[in-house]
A = this chain, B = another copy of it.
Amino acid sequence: MQKIHVPVKNAYDVIIEKGILQKCGKLIQELNITSAKHFVIITDDNVDKFYADIVVTSLKENGFQAEKFVFPHGEASKNAEILLKIYAFLCKQEITRSDCLIALGGGVVGDITGFAAATFLRGLPYIQIPTSLLAQVDSSVGGKTAIDLPEGKNLVGAFKQPLAVFCDFNTLQTLPEEFLIDGMGEVIKYGMIADAELFENLCQYDLQSIKNHFDEIIPTCIKIKRDVVAQDELDTGLRMILNFGHTLGHAIEAYYHYENYTHGCAVAIGMCLMTKYFNNSQDYKKLKSCVENYKLPTDVPVAIQELVSLCGNDKKRSGSQLHYIVCSPIGTANIKLDSVREFQKHFERVI
């Protein structure tokens, strides 16, 4: 068992162990993180097939009351309609502030469950059990919760730290390859923004061989995220570096109406385009090759000018100005602030 402490205001641990799902009920007792006796597990239909009953059983075996709420998988479920159904389920189960939610699944499950926990009865505790690579290295740590609006992703949300994160690499074994690819976009990002050695290692592996290195790589990524979040819990400064590749990535997702490219794929393209226009050609070549190792795309068949023209809508925009991240040299992150127009100008030179 490995513990990574996250020293935010309401501090908590990420606990990493293979097979942790089977003993989560016992662990909750031993860790003494909550006095809750009644748990609601929120998950999607894909994850439910493999893991929800394991968690329910482990809780019940340890004397807890446990129910599950299952909704259809996919980003399309991260909306107000499903959120209202979660609230109705919590009412029906007579959940009080002394009870506890569990987010069991990928990023969508974690985000919407976290937001329900942040807002139902003005807040009750929750535990994250991320089952996808993306959720394990990124979305389960840091306390960002959200739902999407018809107008855009993550437009409504809250900061709500979990009581704990239970991370079980075993769940990655049932993860379809497309989700592994999706998660690798964020894994490579951590190398780019903060860890040149991690990046060099990732250049050596591929989608198969990396599975033998999750034991080192996932904790490394979580620690990078932890260090950033601990310094900027409420996303007012440093935390922006986690958005490397995301300004263009979000534009790509919006351009394709969140079809065609998953979040990880869009971020991979965003990182490649940023590196192409802001780093030397050697960096770009290395990143492109690394991204290709993991079957991630490196470009889109859209004129770059058209993409950057969409960046004015980014949530991170401050008035008419825009923050963006440049990783030159690889392994470092620099926060830039420009007018939207100045940012767009960078992409006018021919490469």
**Which of A147-155, A185-193, A195-203 lies on the face that meets chain B?**
A147-155
List residues of chain B with CB within 8 A of the CB of A144: 122
CB–CB B87/A149 < 8 A: yes
Main SS class of interface, A: mixed
Contacts of A159 in B (CB 8 A): 122-123
Q: Is A96 an interface position by the 8 A CB rule?
A: yes
Give the shortest distance, in Å, between A38 (CB) and chain B (any CB): 8
Contact, CB under 8 Å: B121 / A155:
yes
A119 in the interface, Cβ–Cβ < 8 Å?
A: yes
Interface: A88 (CB within 8 A): yes
For A149, what are the chain B residues with a Cβ–Cβ distance below 8 Å?
Answer: 84, 87-88, 91
The answer to whether residues A123 and B88 also contact, given A96-B317, A98-B318 and a CB cut-off of 8 A, is no
For A94, what are the chain B residues with a Cβ–Cβ distance below 8 Å?
313
- Residues on the B chain within 8 Å of A97, using CB: 315, 318
Let me know if B118 and A158 touch, CB within 8 A.
yes
How distant is the Cα of A288 from the Cα of B59 in the complex, in angstroms?
A: 51
> A207 an interface residue at 8 Å Cβ cutoff?
no
Residues of B within 8 A of A211 (CB): none
* A120 at the B interface (CB under 8 A): yes
Which residues on the B side are within 8 Å of A92 (C-beta)?
151
Q: Give the docked Cα–Cα distance between A236 and B144 (Å).
A: 23
Q: Measured between alpha carbons, how far is A46 from B284 in the docked complex, in Å?
A: 60
A sample of 10 more A-B contacts (CB under 8 A), given A96-B319, A119-B157, A121-B157, is A84-B149, A91-B149, A92-B151, A96-B317, A97-B315, A98-B319, A119-B158, A120-B155, A123-B159, A158-B158
Q: What are 18 A-B pairs at a CB distance below 8 A? A: A87-B149, A88-B149, A91-B149, A91-B155, A92-B151, A94-B313, A96-B317, A97-B318, A98-B319, A119-B119, A119-B156, A120-B155, A121-B155, A121-B156, A122-B146, A122-B157, A122-B159, A122-B235
A interface residues (Cβ-Cβ under 8 A, vs B): 37, 80, 84, 87-88, 91-92, 94, 96-98, 118-123, 144, 146, 149-152, 154-159, 235, 313, 315, 317-319
